[in-house]
A and B are shown apart, each in its own frame.
Chain A
């Protein structure tokens, strides 16, 4: 089942919260360099799916493989210890809806914390790389600021840089622009587009149809915890196969037409 040529292989993942079945039998794969956008109405399980991938949420059934290594369960079929799980998580970056920066650390310290403490890389090297990442997201001048002093768009760009500082194989975005003022969405999407073009492997849960249309290599459409449709963006947006996808796209049609404003 595990296909090592894929960065991510999700096989039959299910998750329920009490009586509510949030995910049922989700399967998909992500190849290196792909940007998969997960779309779907709210409550369709998109965020839960993302959180299951790095085991922030423990799936009830199914397997998740990162370059062929199963996440969360050891070869002997036992649930991984915190230590084993942590080692795998270093290879999966995550960007949170509400940024989740550490407020007691400066911007630069937010970036350097895990590479030094977790990966034990030399601090001079980590610092150089962190400064380069801050330059890349356009925040060199904010390196000594505390997160409280930043705008939402700046915070999210720091969040992306923090995830990149770990040199991950896979980057997960959990509605990265949903908490932002409309005029700040663009600056975050610019950074994400650049990453996509550079060949970063990404899974992006989003409501940004414009981004999904021109940055995704593939769309995964979720409804009520199931993968209803999966297709390249051109086909998904112009000729969706299912009625549910058609309705969903129609609702966002105006936004797509004028270049993908947020909803």
Chain B
């Protein structure tokens, strides 16, 4: 395995991180929005969200991706492999995030919400100032779990030609007839990516705990 090969895998790592991050950053607020729509029981829309979440949670990511990549052009929507990959990741992770957010919302103490109503907070203020800061905290472990799953599922994006860490390693192994070194490098790359995410979670949790202990 040459230096060029390692560079190729690192390029794959850039693709993996970029696609994962994009999927996470777009999927997180969409998941929250879907959860709020269901929680608020918005007529019709809440039903649609329920159906969407059920279908998406039951659809394998790779199947969804193939559907988007090969079927959308058939109905006149041109889509590249990267766009299809991001779209599939977002659609998938938003559905799972929705359920994490929703669980926190359903457990939110009713009297705290009523206390906010009783001091005249409107729906927007109640959500932003009272509900959101607390559900972010209770949802964090579930959300980080879903994010790390998303990162580890990115190798399936290779089916539409995206060259991520794993795809790069497969290529090098096929060229050199020595698959062990590239795959060891690949495995070694996923761990730090996920580790950064988990460290971030720990840091946020520790900061909150310290703020409370100081009081």
Q: Which residues of A contact B (CB under 8 A)?
A: 54, 56, 82-83, 86-90, 92-94, 96, 98, 100-104, 106, 113-114, 117-119, 144-146, 148-149, 162-163, 166
Contact = CB atoms under 8 A, between A and B. Distances in A.
Interface residues of B, number: 21
Contacts of B112: 100-103
Contact of B125 (A98, A118, A145): A118
B122 A102 contact: no
A96 B114 CA distance: 9
B58 interface: no
Interface string B118-151: 1111110100011001100100000000000000
Given A104-B134, A144-B215, A86 B120 contact: yes
Given A96-B114, A100-B115, A118 B212 contact: no
A243 to B, nearest CB: 36
Given A89-B117, A89-B120, A100-B112, A149 B130 contact: no
B123 A166 contact: no
The 4 nearest A-B residue pairs measured at CB: A90-B120, A114-B119, A100-B115, A94-B118
Contact of A56 (B118, B122, B133): B118
Nearest to B111: A100
Contact of A118 (B111, B114, B120, B137): B120
Nearest to B120: A90
- Main SS of the interface on chain B? helix
B129 A56 contact: no
10 contacts: A54-B117, A56-B118, A100-B109, A100-B114, A104-B137, A114-B120, A118-B119, A118-B122, A162-B115, A166-B119
Nearest to A172: B118
Nearest to B211: A146
B139 to A, nearest CB: 14
Interface in B94-124: 109, 111-112, 114-123
Given A54-B118, A83-B122, 18 more contacts: A56-B118, A82-B123, A86-B121, A89-B118, A89-B120, A92-B118, A94-B118, A101-B112, A103-B134, A104-B134, A113-B129, A117-B121, A117-B129, A118-B119, A119-B120, A145-B215, A149-B215, A162-B119
B133 A101 contact: no
A176 to B, nearest CB: 13
B124 to A, nearest CB: 9
Contacts of B121: 86, 114, 117-118
B24 to A, nearest CB: 24
B204 to A, nearest CB: 13
- Most A CB contacts (10 A, CB to CB) among B115, B118, B212, B215 go to B118
Contacts of B137: 104
Given A118-B125, A146-B212, A146-B215, A101 B119 contact: no
A90 B111 contact: no
A109 to B, nearest CB: 10
Nearest to A88: B120
A163 B120 CA distance: 11
A77 B141 CA distance: 47
A90 B119 contact: yes
A104 B108 CA distance: 13
